[in-house]
Amino acid sequence: MKHVISYALFTIFAIGTTGCGRQEITPGPCDCDPAIDFPADLSLSAELDSLRNEAASVFGLNTDEIVKIGSERNFVGLATPTTRFSRRIDSFTYLIQDEEFGLGRPKGVFNGPDSDLIKAGREILTRIGLADAQIDEEIVLTEMTQVGQRAGERLKMEPPVQASKSLLITRRIVGLPVFSSKVALSLNAKKGIGHLELHWPDIPQWVLIEAKRMDVLVKSGWAPPQRKGATPENVQAGIVHSSAIGFVMDIYPAIRVVYSSQDKSLGRKLMEYYDRHGDLIATPRVFAKQDELLMREWAKERK
């Protein structure tokens, strides 16, 4: 079905505003420089020094022995003999992986009270300067493991045991869920960070405004597109963006629709994201087009 879109020009007057004052109707251009707190030293060496200090003071990593430190594409990072620490320069995103963390590994896993894990997650957010007001849910996930021994043709299973715990923090801003933002945290046996994915990008004002408008539409009875063999189960306005590991950062307002299958033998649910008109939005990218081409060439070379 073709959509015919008519464009009209509107003259908008912002009453009682001058210069960079707040415009009540729609965000517009500003004729002054943005208020940015630039670092005193913008050299690359100062950036890496800041990264090293951040790894130690904010995340509690041991940076006495650094085997590699530098930047590549949209990441800066460092590596110790056991741990990798990275930060995106185009998004509020941090990644940590300790190779000695894990069941049966030297630093083990945390299996203490859920409250201690939640406290550790909140302390990280506080030290890094993120507002508690944007925390939506704090979910403790428990991983179980089970082993079995074969006796002849029979398999004797041992009782399942707890392998590890991890914390998932989801995000809500101005009352709207940010579907793609999260904090995923796992601790070692001594409560040090074993794994961290903290992905909390800044959301542009226009995205917040349009997402709020979509929320009003949904609450006013916005009808989701029909899908053959599926029934809309949940409709929610919010924000979606690119994943933590990637070379680009796309951020879109979206209406998320979860469809349940009418065929009960199919357990997996369809999830799609739409704009206000009921058209599918573009999937937030992970790579730019030129990156996809380079990766295809790299894959061919490895065959």
Judgement on whether residues 119 and 53 belong to the same structural domain of the protein: yes
Judgement on whether residues 180 and 59 belong to the same structural domain of the protein: yes
Is 149 inside any structural domain?
Answer: no
Judgement on whether residues 138 and 174 belong to the same structural domain of the protein: yes
Judgement on whether residues 181 and 279 belong to the same structural domain of the protein: no
Q: Which residues contact 89 (CB under 8 A, 6 or more apart)?
A: 71, 74, 75, 76
Model pTM score? 0.82
Is 264 inside any structural domain?
Answer: yes
User: What confidence score (pLDDT) does residue 151 get?
Assistant: 73
158 φ/ψ sector (left φ>0, alpha ψ -120 to 50, else beta): beta
Judgement on whether residues 132 and 253 belong to the same structural domain of the protein: no
Q: Into how many domains does the chain fold?
A: 2
User: What confidence score (pLDDT) does residue 262 get?
Assistant: 84
Judgement on whether residues 230 and 278 belong to the same structural domain of the protein: yes
Judgement on whether residues 135 and 111 belong to the same structural domain of the protein: yes
In 3D space, the residue among 134, 137, 148, 147 whose CA is nearest the CA of residue 176 turns out to be 134
Assign 3-class secondary structure to 12-74. CCCCCCCCCCCCCCCCCCCCCCCCCCCCCCCCHHHHHHHHHHHHHHCCCCCCCCCCEEEEECC
Residue 6 has pLDDT above 70, yes or no: no
Judgement on whether residues 71 and 171 belong to the same structural domain of the protein: yes
Q: What is the CATH number of the domain that holds 113?
A: 3.30.310
User: What confidence score (pLDDT) does residue 267 get?
Assistant: 72
Residue 133 has pLDDT above 90, yes or no: no
Q: What is the CB neighbour count within 10 angstroms for residue 183?
A: 23
Judgement on whether residues 211 and 120 belong to the same structural domain of the protein: no
User: What confidence score (pLDDT) does residue 20 get?
Assistant: 42
Judgement on whether residues 217 and 193 belong to the same structural domain of the protein: no
What token pair was written down for 99?
Answer: 């190779």
The parent domain of residue 274 ranges over 205-290
Judgement on whether residues 55 and 106 belong to the same structural domain of the protein: yes
